[in-house]
Amino acid sequence: MNENAEVLLISKSDLLAGIDKVLASHKVAALTTKEERTLYDFISASSEIELDYKPTVLSPKKFFFPQDEVIVEYTDDGKVTAKIDAEPMILFGIRPCDINGIKILDEAFADSNGDPNYLAKREKAVIIGMDCKAICDENAFCYKVKANYAHSGFDVMLQEQGDKYVVQAVTDKGREFMKNFNTTAGNQSDVEAFLNEKAEGFKDKTPFKDLDKLPEVMAANYNHKVWDEESSRCLSCGSCIMVCPTCYCFDVADELALSLKKGERIRRWDACMLSSFAEVAGNENFREDKKDRLHHRISRKFDYLMKKHGQSVCVGCGRCVRACLANISPKTIVEKITCDKGE
């Protein structure tokens, strides 16, 4: 976090009142409950916000990189147009693991081949982070990859302290956004008090052994027995990928309207754990074995893409662990490889 950011304080009631004010002119997505499920969704009043975190099935990735999205439209008279939809949006209450996830997607989609569909949405979003003081459930392992702390990728960070929040707006967008709120001046000691409480909450929760060296460790264990052991239970269902905040592989397919007069090119989330993912013409399959597919997915997180992003690309949110019917966890795999006995 930027240590020079101005520190503000806001009461819970002023925070919620400010959100209601913002809602008059902006779409706001926040943690909320629908049909007894906690999820990130658009809200119409601050009273719908869940301030205490409960794990969600999908991450806020879906707001920038939706499950399916039209990228090109065409008509039978030969007109072809790129379709890029985006509207201003406030993402409220995004936790550090998911902020780290967004940061990784940002780096992937804002490279030299910058993705217009992702970036249009991302550029119009204001991200309001909500720091965590403790692990959210037994499946999360954010601390294993140090993703329980977010250092960038957000506009404002909120840190709960009693009946108020410590506020740090670290970008121009964030400072502009905070003008909607009734705040008082705070100081660095308020931040430190929160961080002390957080450190206490994560006491004894230690990162993976040799976290920074995982790319080399993973490469050296290409043929470790863990790949057979863990993949033997894999159902190749792809659930782990559907819920992952940092998986961004996709498929592209055309769909014609029933009139046959127009059509759309749609991109959809795809999954390297599915058996057809690396299949080419003539049925040659470059990753036919589920062991190789598990190895590929886990190595993307801790080796291939970790080298590119300079941090673990698994953010330890625990969503894949909760979704997996076969009890496969990246945490277990890395611990077996590094002979780390866990916390």
Partner 1 sequence: MCESLKIVGKNDDLYLPEPARIIEIKEFTPQEKFFRVEILSGKSLGHMPGQFVQVSILGIGEAPISVSSPPSDDNKFDLCVRAVGNVTNKLHTLKENDIIHIRGPFGHGFDNKILEKMEGKELLFIAGGIGYVPLRSLINKVLPQSDKYKKVSILYGCKTRPERMYQDELEQIHNLGGNVELLETVDNGDDKWNGNVGVITTLIPKVDFDINNTIAVICGPPIMYKFVLQSLLGRNLPKESIYMSLERRMKCGVGKCGHCQMEGVYVCQEGPVFNYADVQNNEEVL
Nearer to partner 1, 162 or 282 (CB): 282
Is 88 a binding residue for partner 1 by CB under 8 A? The answer is no
Residue at 148: amino acid letter: N
> Which span (26-34, 116-124, 132-140, 177-185) binds partner 1, by CB under 8 A?
116-124
Is 82 a binding residue for partner 1 by CB under 8 A? The answer is yes
Sketch the per residue contact string, 286 through 325, with partner 1: x for CB under 8 A, - otherwise: xx----x---x--xx--xxx-xx-----------------
Is 85 a binding residue for partner 1 by CB under 8 A? The answer is no
Residue numbers 124-183 binding partner 1 by CB under 8 A: 127, 152-155, 170-174
Among 299, 295, 246, 292, smallest CA distance to 269 is for 246
Beta bridge partners of 10: 165
* Number of residues near partner 1 (by CB under 8 A): 66
Question: Considering the complex, what minimum distance in angstroms separates the CB of residue 269 from partner 1?
Answer: 10
Beta bridge partners of 211: none
DSSP symbol at 303: I
> Which span (32-40, 45-53, 140-148, 259-267) binds partner 1, by CB under 8 A?
259-267
Q: What are the start-end ranges of the H helices in the chain? A: 12-23, 61-64, 96-109, 116-123, 172-178, 188-201, 214-220, 226-231, 239-242, 290-299, 305-309, 319-323, 330-338
Token digits of residue 259:
């009139």
Under 8 Å between Cβ of 207 and 144: yes
Question: Considering the complex, what minimum distance in angstroms separates the CB of residue 54 from partner 1?
Answer: 25
3-state secondary structure of 129: strand
Beta bridge partners of 287: none
Is 258 a binding residue for partner 1 by CB under 8 A? The answer is no
Question: Considering the complex, what minimum distance in angstroms separates the CB of residue 297 from partner 1?
Answer: 10
* Whole-angstrom distance, CA of residue 44 vs CA of residue 58: 20
Residue numbers 265-284 binding partner 1 by CB under 8 A: 265, 267, 270, 272, 277-282, 284
Question: Considering the complex, what minimum distance in angstroms separates the CB of residue 245 from partner 1?
Answer: 15
Strands 89-94, 250-256: parallel, antiparallel or unpaired by DSSP? unpaired
H or E stretch including 27?
strand 27-34
Strands 89-94, 125-130: parallel, antiparallel or unpaired by DSSP? parallel
Given candidates 14, 50, 68, 106, which one binds partner 1 under the rule CB under 8 A? 106
Name the site residues for partner 1 (rule: CB under 8 A).
Answer: 2, 71-72, 74, 78, 80-82, 84, 106, 108-117, 119, 122-123, 127, 152-155, 170-174, 222, 248-254, 256, 260, 263, 265, 267, 270, 272, 277-282, 284, 286-287, 292, 296, 299-300, 303-305, 307-308
